[in-house]
Each structure stands twice: as C-alpha cells, then as structure tokens.
Amino acid sequence: MAMEAEAAPVRLRLGLSAPTRLHPALPATCSRALVSGVPVRLVTAGVDERSGVDSIGTIPAAVTAWAASQQGTPRVLVSAGTAGGLDSAGARIGDLYLTHGPVVFHDRRIPLGGFARYGVGSFPSLDCTSLAAELGLKTAVFTSGDSLDLAPADERAMGSSGACVKDMESAAVAYVAHRLGVPFVGFRAITDLIDGPHHVADEFARNLAAASARLADAFPRVLGGLAAILPGRPG
Ligand code: SAH
C-alpha cells in the first residue's frame, strides 16, 4: 500500500502487528499477522524523508514490492489502496474493484517501434471474476501512472486500454509480480471520478477516509477468497 491513511484501517481490521522497517535502505514498513491461518504481510512504501509525505507512485511501489518479495516466498502480491474511477464506465465513489485482465501504464508514451508496447506494460493479473462475483465487488482494467491529474494524452491511453480504474502503483507491483512469476491482484476503493465534475484532488481528500474504511472492511473476505483460489500452500 502507498499511503498510511489507507494502510492504518487495514492494520486494525486484520489485527496486524505494529509496523517495523522493511529494509535499512528504504522508508518502507512491514506489519504481519496470521489471518485465518494464512500469513499476511502488509507493506507500505513509507514516508519520504525529504518531503515528509507518503512515498506514493510507481518507483517506491516497485522497489518496496521487490524488497518485500525477497524476504519470503509470497503466494500473491496485492496492490491495495484508493484509486480514481471513470464515471462514464460506471465507477462510483466508494466502489471496490479487483483487477480484470492485464494491468497497464497510461503515461509512458514511447512512439519508437516496439518501445510503444513496452511503455504500456500490460502485466497479467490473477483471474478474480468468480471471487468478485461472490463478494459483490466490481472488476476492471487497472492503469497506473505517476500523476494524480489526467493529461489529455493519458485519457486517450486509458481509452485505448479500456481501463476504468486509475492509480499510481498497481502496474509497478504487477511488473514485479510478473518478473517473479507470482500472481498479482489489484484491490482498490474509488475516491474520485476522474471524468466527473469535481476537482480530483479535493474529491480524493474528501473521500479518502471513507473509501479506506470500506477497503479495510472487505479485506478479510478478499484475503480469504484469495487463499482459497491461489495455487500452493500457506507458508
Ligand atoms: N493529494 C494527496 C496525494 C494522494 S495521491 C495527499 O495530499 O495526500 C493518490 C494516491 O491514491 C496514490 O497512491 C494513488 O494510487 C491513489 N489515487 C487515488 N485517486 C487517484 C487518481 N485519480 N489518479 C491516480 N491515483 C489515484
């Protein structure tokens, strides 16, 4: 997870330990628990010492996911938190989404032959169709980039990929999961509608607490469902 405001309610809800430092060279944190017999580690990218805010975005997400994965043998990597949603594709504030299909980037424009495809990324996610139906969650294509706003070119990229959920970490963690051959799942609560009438940053700030609470409430059911469908044994 990227933001402490997103992670804190999940720690409480899952009964996770107090966060400790994940790695000496990173501000990232790690807390642990056994949730219904399944070992769970919640890792955040931590606070950026220079600016004093959460280390959101793709670079800390990838480095943190990599460092955490080297300290164990994860059965799944989940990128969880909040996201912007497309009103025109049916997203509503507070909706909970699991990933559907490949996870892409919307702001890596490299019109140089094969680099164009490289820029989009397109890393696989675990098929969560039945799990989402069982839990009453929505599914969508997730797209990531390093800006909160939506530049016209980013919007066009979202149109091409059919993405409906926009965040700043999922594709980076999906890349790490893909490199490691570990299933990836994105799990996000919608805080703002990127094509809606409100200013995205204001809407995000207004809905952050409520959306994070909804995410935390659904977390035990999502983890239980994942434990049931994932290959391999807990460990
Ligand atoms: N302005 C906020 C910064 C949050 S950035 C603050 O001052 O605290 C948004 C975070 O929530 C990122 O980690 C991202 O993954 C997610 N997010 C929520 N809405 C988003 C949107 N519309 N676009 C991109 N990321 C979004």
pTM: 0.97
Q: Share the mean pLDDT of the chain.
A: 96
Contact between 83 and 96 (Cβ < 8 Å): no
What is the per-residue pLDDT across 146-185, written as a single tens digit (0 to 9) for each?
A: 999 999 999 999 999 999 999 999 999 999 999 999 999 9
pLDDT of residue 193: 97
Mean pLDDT of 106-125: 97
| Contact 163 CB / ligand 1 (< 6 Å) | no
What is the per-residue pLDDT across 181-207, written as a single tens digit (0 to 9) for each?
A: 999 999 999 999 999 999 999 999 999
Binned at pLDDT 50, 70 and 90, residue 36 comes out as: confident
Continuous segment of H or E residues that includes residue 15: none
pLDDT of residue 231: 79
What is the per-residue pLDDT across 37-49, written as a single tens digit (0 to 9) for each?
A: 899 999 999 999 9
Continuous segment of H or E residues that includes residue 154: helix 152-161
| Contact 100 CB / ligand 1 (< 6 Å) | no
Q: What is the DSSP string of 171-204?
A: HHHHHHHHHHT--EEEEEEEEEETTSSS-HHHHH
Best mutation site among 148, 149, 165, 208 for ligand 1 pocket (most ligand atoms within 8 Å of CB)? 148
Structure tokens at 160: 């091409």
| Contact 169 CB / ligand 1 (< 6 Å) | yes
pLDDT of residue 133: 98
CA distance 75 to 182: 6
| Contact 44 CB / ligand 1 (< 6 Å) | no
Phi and psi for 33 in degrees, rounded to 5?
-165, 160
Residue with CA closest to ligand 1 atom 22: 84
In the predicted model, is pLDDT for residue 235 greater than 60?
no
Mean pLDDT of 112-118: 97
Report the 10 Å Cβ neighbour count for 150.
19
Phi and psi for 123 in degrees, rounded to 5?
-105, 140
- Alpha carbon of 82 to ligand 1 centroid (Å): 7
In the predicted model, is pLDDT for residue 234 greater than 80?
no
pLDDT of residue 122: 96
Q: Report, as residue numbers or ranges, the catalytic residues.
A: 6, 192
**234 vs 213, which has greater pLDDT?**
213
In the predicted model, is pLDDT for residue 98 greater than 90?
yes
Lowest mean pLDDT among 2-16, 46-60, 102-116, 220-234: 220-234
